Chain A
Amino acid sequence: MVIDLRRCDGCKKCTEACQTEHDLPKTFEWIKVFQLQDKSGETYYMPRPCMHCENAPCLRVCPVAATFRTDEGVILVDQERCIGCRMCMAACPYGARYFNFGDPPAAPNPFQKPTPEFPVPQIKGTVGKCMLCVHNTDHGELPACVKACGMQALWIGDLTADVATNGSDTVRLSSLIKDNDAFRYKEELGTSPRVYYIAGHGQDLDN
């Protein structure tokens, strides 16, 4: 994923679309929009999905391998396996994981059984997080947040096919990253996150 901070206007449509897509309560911001100030005092916004780290700390610390990586590199959670120890929440440097403290809202389809690829409804006592809408991308559709973003600030891409799209444009992923000096958040931790940020002038995420 590539997130263009120059374009994000903080409308939180991505968060809302995500919550609708996965039947989540309002406190579950799998993609969360942070409001920040740049050096000249201007406000800008930073959406934070799960970074789907290549070297994911959450995956290493899970005692039961409920968190796993798909062949495409997406980090998913098997909520039928999760024991709810929340070790992954302590380990995640991005606060991207959300624990189901209570019962999730009732799902519209009562026969829907949650799977790691479509964890709806969420299961009480287990951890959930952004799963990059693999239930959509597997069919060539966009993740809910990308679809909902009116500013075209969110790009979903594939590093092997070297292609990325924000819903209206399709570009070469490597050029998008390189030409815009895209960087990764907290890269110094060695997690190799797979979400890139494109920052505008003075938009410094290391505050």
Chain B
Amino acid sequence: MDRRTRALYVERAVWPIGRGDRKFWISVMVLGALVAAGVYAWIYQVQHGLWVTGLNQKVSWGFYIINCVFFIGMSYGGAMTSAILRLTGAKWRAPLTRIAEATAVAALLVGAVYPIVDLGRPDRFLYILRYGQVGSPVVWDLVAVTSYAIASFVFLYLPLIPDLPVAKAALGARAGLLGRIYDALSLGWKGRPDQERALARGIGIMAVLIIPLAVSVHSVLAWLFAVTSRAEWHSTIFAPYFVLAAMFSGVAAVIIVVAALRKVYGLGEFIVAKHFRYLSYLLIALGAGYLYFMISEFLTDGYVFESGTTSGLQSLFIGQYAPEFWSFSVGGLLVPLVLAALPGRFPVARATVASVLVVAGMWLKRFLIVVPGMANPIMPWEWGQYQPTWVEITILVGSAAAIPLMLIVFFRFFPVMSVHELDEVEGRYEVSSRHRIPAYAPVYGAGDAGGGDD
């Protein structure tokens, strides 16, 4: 193994740990202030009741349900990308997995809070456990989200174990109390062959397990809507539609976080243009799949033009929700797909811009599922209206700020790249090949030495 390279990536992986520079504290304060504003808005809502929101008798679900689906969806990208790349043995994943898994946990924690924010009586939340009815989709959600949350914590923790002693050694005298915490968390990891085998087995099981868990979470979220008789929601395609939406927005979220942390922590040498190109391929495949689902949904509904579906379709295509619908279809789906698919220069910038558009677009799409579904008349001619208030907007901004806040705080204590995986890839690569290509760069794609066209 190339010792110089190893020293380099160990140095980069632990670089953010314990680093309290001005930039870090300013970020923490700004993000923390936004989160605090969101918490304040929620407390205000609990005190005064949900009338301080834009919700009303017709549109009784709004921002909170949209945000719940949106943030839990985001968390998928992390979990699924990491799991799929592990299972397919894609070596280029090594510098990305930690970031992807941490993003999954952070986004999930934010998304999982939303059902509670939405409740009229959050103080009775635990009634769901006490009086839980197996037939209710709300109960399915609680079970699915909880098991997925536990799994994604474990999925973040397991690959972290072998990195803790490395981080302690790298920090040296700076480690202090953190070193003792590392010791406790690393469960006596010495890198013995039996430990390596146990860890590989554990990570393998989790990678397999997390996929059906993630699929189940978004399926039950979809059924929250699909089991009602509302024409816009009562659809057999809804569960896979939601799962695909989640993966699509999730991969976009991972691209954004990877691009941001790469800049902030100076990981440009390890996370190269090639990574963004491969992640873009994933994004394009999922986006194309999503477009196909959308066409399938609208074509079958629009062709028959049944009385129940007409007003919903009209409101989307030419009616009051047309601006949002076309912004999403063009700006959040077509444009980013073309942007990510085009060959040529600036792959990192293009992937990042495309991902920002996708994430914003997928928020809009969830809005277009929840709000028109509620506002469309179920009784004759009674259209609903929905205009969110400062409370809902502040909570959305605050909760969005919580994700980068959690990430920078987490990476202030734990290595940002998986040193163990980089070691593994590096070592194996050296055995199987004589080329001097850094193995953490993606290895497929003939002739690519990685990082040339950033």
| Interface, chain A (partner B; CB < 8 A) | 27, 32, 34, 36, 46, 48, 57, 60-66, 81-87, 89-91, 93-95, 98-103, 124-127, 189, 191, 205-207
Q: A64-B127, A87-B136, A99-B57 are in contact. Are A34 and B119 (CB under 8 A)?
A: no
B133 nearest CB across to chain A (Å): 5
B138 nearest CB across to chain A (Å): 4
Contact (Cβ within 8 A) B132 A93: no
Contact (Cβ within 8 A) A126 B121: yes
B276 at the interface (CB under 8 A from A): no
Contact (Cβ within 8 A) B379 A81: no
A-B interface, 8 closest residue pairs, ranked by CB to CB distance from nearest: A84-B120, A125-B120, A101-B51, A63-B138, A63-B136, A64-B131, A102-B51, A125-B121
Q: A64-B132, A83-B119, A102-B48 are in contact. Are A94 and B378 (CB under 8 A)?
A: yes
Q: A64-B127, A83-B125 are in contact. Are A101 and B50 (CB under 8 A)?
A: yes
| Interface, chain B (partner A; CB < 8 A) | 48-51, 53, 55-58, 60-61, 115, 118-121, 124-125, 127-128, 130-133, 135-139, 142, 224-225, 227-230, 307, 374, 378-382
Q: Which residues of A contact B142 (CB under 8 A)?
A: 63
- Docked Cα-Cα span, A56 to B119, in Å, equals 22
Contact (Cβ within 8 A) B131 A81: yes
Contact (Cβ within 8 A) A65 B131: yes
Contact (Cβ within 8 A) A83 B133: no
Q: Which residues of A contact B381 (CB under 8 A)?
A: 34
- Docked Cα-Cα span, A99 to B142, in Å, equals 22
Checking B49, B58, B374, B380 against A125 with a beta-carbon cut-off of 8 angstroms, the contacting residue is: B49
Contact (Cβ within 8 A) B131 A61: no
A130 nearest CB across to chain B (Å): 14
Contact (Cβ within 8 A) B374 A90: yes
**23 chain-A/chain-B pairs, Cβ below 8 angstroms:** A61-B137, A61-B138, A61-B227, A62-B133, A64-B124, A66-B131, A81-B124, A82-B121, A83-B128, A84-B124, A85-B120, A86-B118, A90-B224, A93-B378, A100-B49, A100-B120, A101-B56, A102-B49, A102-B50, A102-B51, A125-B49, A125-B120, A205-B380
Q: Which residues of B contact A63 (CB under 8 A)?
A: 128, 131-133, 136, 138-139, 142
Q: Which residues of B contact A61 (CB under 8 A)?
A: 135-138, 227-228
Checking A81, A90, A94 against B225 with a beta-carbon cut-off of 8 angstroms, the contacting residue is: A90
Q: A57-B228, A102-B51, A125-B50 are in contact. Are A64 and B378 (CB under 8 A)?
A: no
Contact (Cβ within 8 A) A87 B229: no
Q: Which residues of A contact B118 (CB under 8 A)?
A: 85-86
- Docked Cα-Cα span, A91 to B373, in Å, equals 11
- Docked Cα-Cα span, A78 to B227, in Å, equals 23
The interface centre, meaning the residue of B55, B60, B132, B374 with most chain A CB atoms within 10 A of its CB, is: B60
Contact (Cβ within 8 A) A189 B229: yes
Contact (Cβ within 8 A) A86 B120: yes
Contact (Cβ within 8 A) B50 A62: no
- Docked Cα-Cα span, A57 to B125, in Å, equals 22
- Docked Cα-Cα span, A56 to B138, in Å, equals 17
- Docked Cα-Cα span, A101 to B53, in Å, equals 9
Contact (Cβ within 8 A) B119 A60: no
Q: Which residues of A contact B48 (CB under 8 A)?
A: 102
For A207, give the chain B residue with the smallest CB separation.
Answer: B380
Q: A83-B125, A99-B57, A99-B60 are in contact. Are A90 and B138 (CB under 8 A)?
A: no
B236 nearest CB across to chain A (Å): 16
- Docked Cα-Cα span, A93 to B229, in Å, equals 6
For A89, give the chain B residue with the smallest CB separation.
Answer: B60
Q: Which residues of B contact A83 (CB under 8 A)?
A: 119-121, 124-125, 127-128
- Docked Cα-Cα span, A50 to B56, in Å, equals 19
Q: Which residues of B contact A66 (CB under 8 A)?
A: 131
B207 nearest CB across to chain A (Å): 32
Checking A34, A65, A103, A125 against B379 with a beta-carbon cut-off of 8 angstroms, the contacting residue is: A34
Q: Which residues of A contact B53 (CB under 8 A)?
A: 101
Q: Which residues of A contact B135 (CB under 8 A)?
A: 60-61
The interface centre, meaning the residue of B51, B58, B132 with most chain A CB atoms within 10 A of its CB, is: B51
Q: Which residues of A contact B131 (CB under 8 A)?
A: 63-66, 81
- Docked Cα-Cα span, A47 to B130, in Å, equals 38
Q: A87-B137, A125-B50 are in contact. Are A64 and B56 (CB under 8 A)?
A: no
Q: A90-B60, A101-B55 are in contact. Are A64 and B120 (CB under 8 A)?
A: no
